[in-house]
Structure 1
């Protein structure tokens, strides 16, 4: 128990140091990128200070895996350098038991990052963006309004697809409206128009067609140059606020996916974003599992710098592979779950194998 606490204490001390270093470097780089916006607009120093205070939770999310990897390498190399690992093994303690506190701590860090991503980071990011886009840049809103390919399902059951929406002059372009039966099993009417303008509290549709469908298919098609229809929708109904990804909690993302899925929208990319937010914190666990045996092996052949270099190469390789899988998920080659969790499952297996064979001179001892 004492050895576990000692190993855990060593890891946590290096983790805090690594986190502080990574966060500091990130914020410093961002400061030089953003400082001109604050200075040229005569923003108060309190706004600058609060902006970076609110940015810390956002940075912690992305820096957590790298901090875990560096802390693992430094902790293992430190214990190996002072022969403390050899002393523990001489007392009958296995490598797995020695390093179990590090693996457990990396898992705890991943869970804390998820908690931060759900409860702290979204609110902090909203305030951070409000300071930069509203208080500093004097914008009207720091959120984006969806203006292209807008889908809307009205309370009456009508489904609108708007190619382009201009909220400034209240016009819709390339509109398709689908009217269905009460149980949404069949389309009864479809209205297409090049343009619709909001005038006198109603929509005026221009250059379009009206198709009526029966049980046997298309029954009638009418063309019009300008016509109004009795739809209850108003311009504000088509305003959909698109939050920035960092402003969304996991629950908000899930609810949005379910809502859009019920409207018949393609939510594959949104499922990918949600699984990415859930899987990314566990990269730290994967890197810890791989970093432990690699640090032990490399410490026998070289010093601390060699160990850091080896693990850095592995970390970059995993990041490249993970990013490639995410890209293939966005392209539709992989499913959202496979694209985000597949690399983690693969490298976790490799990490466990390396950890269990760290004392063996044979590459496949289980098959001897």
Structure 2
């Protein structure tokens, strides 16, 4: 009885290396393209504020971890397609299949590497990316643009020093340029509290804040509080002043994001899109494994596909674009509360995983 051939450890390493080499090349290419796009997008500011020197280099170097984390799934897909296009061109995949080695056995070493890449993505997203992204934002907004850093955080509440005192804000909706629960503390010459104003919301219309639910109080020397008729908060600030230290989702680690969401809910505020962003922190690293599985399904056929290097690279770009489009649509629906947060974050992964499984099983029947 003739035993069915199985891959040896040497063959495992060979196939894994055939994926990992093109993957690293694709990762470098996509990262460079992303950096160039970001540089051209900010070119006017870099010229105006003199950011083409060491400060600009430091800014883009600090953005590298975030960029790498974002392009890893597409680089995984392109690496698989290019690596197996080379193997198919030399006939090595067909030779393995003629020896009776299954597609699943050839896929296992590549999937193991993909799991390691996924773990690496999750690790840097929780450690390096938040710190580096915050520092890059500080360099760009404060050191490069020479803005004054006024805001500080205290228990995740935003405090801003203004000319006549302090302004505190519970929440800043950066997308809609809206503040919630704003309090203006006006101080006298001896730094005692003389006036207090509170508004439920304030929305920036491009030139001024449109406020609602404003209440004003005057505090006398003896501590007597008198409500006044003043219904206007003069903040003297723009959304950019609040946004300098308002963290974007990629600037949070998971535990920081969990704490921030819990803090907003404890104040009766809606965390909104932050819940979707928290689920995305789990879903995005897994996309590396799903993209590799999809690439393996497309590359390994009972009769291997004759994909050239150019076609493989183009196919990776198309699938990657489709994935990011689907992710953008479902994330937007989740942030608008039209979809539950877990569904919005995980639907693209589920869809592309089902496509990969379907292609693999269909190929097995052919």
Which TM-score tier does this pair reach, normalised by the shorter chain?
0.7 to 0.9
Judging changes above 3 Å, is the alpha-carbon distance between structure 1 residues 94 and 265 closer, same or farther for their aligned structure 2 residues?
same
TM-score (norm 2): 0.73
Q: How does 1:35-184 map to 2 (within 5 A)?
A: 35-42=43-50, 45-141=53-149, 145=158, 150-151=169-170, 163-165=181-183, 172-175=197-200
Measured in 1, the distance between the counterparts of 2:287 and 2:254 equals 18
Contact 2:18 2:83 in 1 (8 A): yes
How far did residue 172 of structure 1 move? Answer: 3.2
Measured in 2, the distance between the counterparts of 1:197 and 1:162 equals 19
- Where 2:147 maps in the other structure, the secondary structure is coil
Contact 1:162 1:172 in 2 (8 A): no
Judging changes above 3 Å, is the alpha-carbon distance between structure 1 residues 56 and 311 closer, same or farther for their aligned structure 2 residues?
closer
Judging changes above 3 Å, is the alpha-carbon distance between structure 1 residues 75 and 264 closer, same or farther for their aligned structure 2 residues?
same
Judging changes above 3 Å, is the alpha-carbon distance between structure 1 residues 307 and 22 closer, same or farther for their aligned structure 2 residues?
closer
The reply to whether residue 194 of structure 1 matches residue 198 of structure 2 is no
Measured in 2, the distance between the counterparts of 1:102 and 1:175 equals 54
Paired position in structure 1 for 2:309? 304
How far did residue 248 of structure 1 move? Answer: 1.4
Contact 2:180 2:200 in 1 (8 A): yes
Q: How does 1:16-27 map to 2 (within 5 A)?
A: 16-27=24-35
Which shows bigger deviation, 250-259 or 277-286? 277-286
Measured in 1, the distance between the counterparts of 2:185 and 2:251 equals 23
Judging changes above 3 Å, is the alpha-carbon distance between structure 1 residues 113 and 270 closer, same or farther for their aligned structure 2 residues?
same
Contact 1:61 1:113 in 2 (8 A): yes
The reply to whether residue 356 of structure 1 matches residue 364 of structure 2 is no
Paired position in structure 2 for 1:278? 282
The reply to whether residue 339 of structure 1 matches residue 344 of structure 2 is yes
Unaligned runs of 5+ in 2: 1-8, 153-157, 161-166, 172-178, 188-194, 202-211, 232-241
The reply to whether residue 257 of structure 1 matches residue 279 of structure 2 is no
Measured in 2, the distance between the counterparts of 1:281 and 1:17 equals 19
Judging changes above 3 Å, is the alpha-carbon distance between structure 1 residues 59 and 198 closer, same or farther for their aligned structure 2 residues?
farther
How far did residue 119 of structure 1 move? Answer: 0.5
Paired position in structure 1 for 2:228? 206
Paired position in structure 1 for 2:298? 294
Measured in 2, the distance between the counterparts of 1:77 and 1:314 equals 16
Tell me which of the two structures has the higher relative contact order, counting C-alpha pairs closer than 8 angstroms and 6 or more residues apart: 2
How far did residue 276 of structure 1 move? Answer: 1.4
Contact 2:151 2:159 in 1 (8 A): no
Measured in 1, the distance between the counterparts of 2:331 and 2:276 equals 8
Judging changes above 3 Å, is the alpha-carbon distance between structure 1 residues 310 and 135 closer, same or farther for their aligned structure 2 residues?
closer
Paired position in structure 1 for 2:204? none
- Where 1:172 maps in the other structure, the secondary structure is strand
Structure with greater Cα Rg: 1
Contact 1:61 1:116 in 2 (8 A): yes
Which shows bigger deviation, 89-98 or 15-24? 89-98
Query: Matched residue pairs, number?
Result: 309
Judging changes above 3 Å, is the alpha-carbon distance between structure 1 residues 205 and 16 closer, same or farther for their aligned structure 2 residues?
farther
The reply to whether residue 8 of structure 1 matches residue 16 of structure 2 is yes
Measured in 1, the distance between the counterparts of 2:226 and 2:93 equals 79
Contact 1:257 1:267 in 2 (8 A): yes
How far did residue 261 of structure 1 move? Answer: 2.4
- CA-atom RMSD in angstroms: 3.4
Contact 1:193 1:207 in 2 (8 A): no
How far did residue 150 of structure 1 move? Answer: 4.6
Measured in 2, the distance between the counterparts of 1:200 and 1:318 equals 61
Return the match for 1:248 from 248, 252, 264: 252
Unaligned runs of 5+ in 1: 153-160, 177-191, 209-224, 226-238, 362-368
Contact 2:258 2:278 in 1 (8 A): yes
Return the match for 2:334 from 321, 329, 340: 329
How far did residue 39 of structure 1 move? Answer: 3.8
Which shows bigger deviation, 8-17 or 300-309? 300-309
